[in-house]
Amino acid sequence: MLMFRPTIALQAYGVHVALIIAMIAPAVLLAMAQVDVCSAKLQAMFADAI
């Protein structure tokens, strides 16, 4: 029994990490997309100002 516990703990830890990454990844991608849109808008505004 003692030999199986570390592997179970590692599997559970891996599942938690995978879930956290799956939850964070879309938010990070959305944030990056929003930053790209904002930078594009800023560049367009500066181009108009110049």
Q: What is d(CA 39, CA 41) in angstroms, rounded to the nearest whole number?
A: 5
How much is the pLDDT for 50?
67
Q: What is the pTM of this model?
A: 0.49
How much is the pLDDT for 7?
81
Q: What is d(CA 37, CA 1) in angstroms, rounded to the nearest whole number?
A: 54
Q: What is d(CA 5, CA 11) in angstroms, rounded to the nearest whole number?
A: 10
Q: What is d(CA 14, CA 8) in angstroms, rounded to the nearest whole number?
A: 10
How much is the pLDDT for 23?
92
Q: What amino acid occupies position 12?
A: A
Pick the range with the lowest mean pLDDT from 6-10, 19-23, 36-40. Answer: 6-10
